[in-house]
Amino acid sequence: AIDVSFRTAGELVTDLTHLGILQEKTGYSRNRLFEMKDYVALFRK
């Protein structure tokens, strides 16, 4: 676990999503699931 607040973690996820590093997969506003597209692509090759 990392020692950051829920708000800080949420802001980081938002930033990474806007940068295209993370992609939200569920379409929900709660209980969301994120994927690191480039990382997952390494295993799909």
Model confidence over 1-45: pLDDT tens digits? Answer: 789 999 999 999 999 999 999 999 999 999 999 999 888 888 887
Please report the pLDDT score of residue 34 as a whole number: 95
CA nearest 25: which of 43, 40, 7? 40
Please report the pLDDT score of residue 12 as a whole number: 93
Please report the pLDDT score of residue 39 as a whole number: 85
Interacting residues of 39 by C-beta distance below 8 A, sequence separation 6+: none
Please report the pLDDT score of residue 40 as a whole number: 82
Element (H, E) at 36: strand 34-36
**Which pTM value belongs to this model?**
0.75
